[in-house]
């Protein structure tokens, strides 16, 4: 579920709760979600460690441990999330970080169990693995870097924006919002965008994501919540996702829900008038 704004909101909530704290123990309730460490060693490696930092890389949460004890990378993927308050569905808790002095718990929950918990021995091995699959962060990418990356592929622009190797952080909801703000059709060939269109695209990426962060992300149905269990407010103020049939904010024509080639299964919301395909 979570894209960059949701993970950034998670990290901002987790950081004050975890940074500098002693982890007495990590209980792993679903060993199949753990990679990079034998499940049998996880308890020992995760005991008596101090959390040095909590960061975000794209849609991933990176927890750095002090004294060279390693790095934990958590990929929430579709339905993963952290709770600082009692999770409403205890059966979905997959890992529990038990803190000491004072005692507290941080829960990682994931209904669909698609999330992953990766263990790395040190910052270097973690950085190598992360860099291999994560491009520049969508909040920080500079215009010419983005242009160069788009010029290298003839895929449609929407799947390109959602390719974490190209740009880290954008998923299905924010890709639609970004492409509408840039007035670009999601099926446009990435390498065929004009310099001015790349300017337009680059100019809207960070503002869209920052607006979503300010709203604490996007919540619908039983999905994402903040670490305090609150709903994100972005879908109350967004322009596209979930608004099929509603008037486009640009021209008033009805927003279309459709599928575009290159994105299996996922819906795309667009305004055919404001986002012409050529």
Catalytic residues: 2-3, 59, 266
Instruction: Lay out the site mask for DNA across 152-181 (x = CB under 7 A, - = otherwise).
Output: xxxxx--x--x-x------xxx--------
Q: Least distance from C-beta 169 to DNA, angstroms? A: 8
Backbone angles phi, psi at 98, to 5 degrees: -100, 115
Q: Least distance from C-beta 130 to DNA, angstroms? A: 9
- Does 6 help bind DNA (rule: CB under 7 A)? yes
- Does 224 help bind DNA (rule: CB under 7 A)? yes
Q: Which stretch binds DNA (CB under 7 A): 21-29, 58-66, 135-143, 197-205?
A: 58-66
Per residue, what are the HEC states of the chain?
A: CCCHHHHHHHHHHHHHHHCCCEEEEEEECCHHHEECCCHHHHHHHCCCEEEEEEEEECCEEEEEECCCCEEEEEECCCCEEEECCCCCCHHHEEEEEEEECCCEEEEEEECCCCCEEEEECCHHHHHHHHHHHCCCECCCCCHHHHHHHHHCCCCEHHHHHCCCCCCECCCHHHHHHHHHHCCCCCCCEHHHCCHHHHHHHHHHHHHHHHHHHHCCCECCCCCCCCCCCCCCEHHHCCCCCCCCCCECCCCCCECEEECCCCCCCCCEEECCCCCCCC
Instruction: Lay out the site mask for DNA across 67-86 (x = CB under 7 A, - = otherwise).
Output: --------x-xx--------
- Does 203 help bind DNA (rule: CB under 7 A)? no
- Does 114 help bind DNA (rule: CB under 7 A)? yes
Q: Least distance from C-beta 231 to DNA, angstroms? A: 10
- Does 108 help bind DNA (rule: CB under 7 A)? no
Q: Least distance from C-beta 233 to DNA, angstroms? A: 12
- Does 238 help bind DNA (rule: CB under 7 A)? no
Q: Least distance from C-beta 198 to DNA, angstroms? A: 17
Among 39, 66, 100, 222, binds DNA (CB under 7 A): 222
- Does 111 help bind DNA (rule: CB under 7 A)? yes
- Does 32 help bind DNA (rule: CB under 7 A)? yes
> Which residues lie below 8 Å from residue 208, measured CB to CB, with a gap of 6+?
174, 177, 178, 181
Give me the residues that bind DNA (CB under 7 A), please: 1-3, 6, 32, 58-60, 75, 77-78, 89, 91, 111-114, 133, 152-156, 159, 162, 164, 171-173, 217-224, 261-262, 264-267
């Amino acid at each position: 579920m979570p894209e960059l704004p949701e993970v950034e909101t998670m990290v901002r909530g987790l950081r004050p709760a975890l940074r500098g704290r002693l982890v007495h123990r990590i209980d792993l309730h679903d060993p199949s979600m753990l990679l990079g460490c034998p499940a049998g060693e996880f308890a020992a490696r995760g005991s008596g460690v101090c959390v040095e930092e909590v960061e975000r890389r794209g849609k991933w949460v990176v927890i750095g441990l002090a004294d060279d004890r390693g790095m934990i990378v958590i990929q929430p993927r579709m339905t993963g999330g952290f709770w600082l308050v009692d999770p409403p569905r205890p059966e979905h808790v997959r890992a529990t970080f038990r803190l000491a002095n004072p005692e507290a718990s941080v829960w990682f929950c994931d209904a669909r169990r698609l999330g992953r918990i990766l263990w790395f021995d040190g910052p270097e091995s973690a950085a190598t693995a992360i860099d291999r699959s994560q491009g520049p962060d969508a909040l920080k990418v500079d215009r010419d870097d983005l242009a160069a990356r788009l010029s290298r592929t003839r895929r449609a622009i929407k799947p390109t924006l959602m390719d974490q190797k190209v740009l880290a952080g954008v998923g299905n909801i924010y890709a639609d919002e970004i492409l509408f703000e840039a007035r670009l059709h999601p099926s446009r060939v990435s390498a065929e965008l004009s310099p001015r269109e790349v300017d337009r695209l680059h100019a809207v990426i960070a503002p869209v994501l920052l607006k979503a962060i300010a709203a604490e992300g996007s919540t619908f149905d039983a999905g994402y919540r903040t670490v305090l269990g609150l709903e994100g407010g972005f879908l109350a103020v967004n322009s596209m996702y979930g608004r099929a049939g509603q008037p486009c904010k640009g021209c008033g024509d009805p927003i279309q829900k459709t599928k575009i080639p290159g994105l299996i299964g996922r819906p795309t919301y667009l305004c055919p008038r404001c986002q012409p395909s050529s």
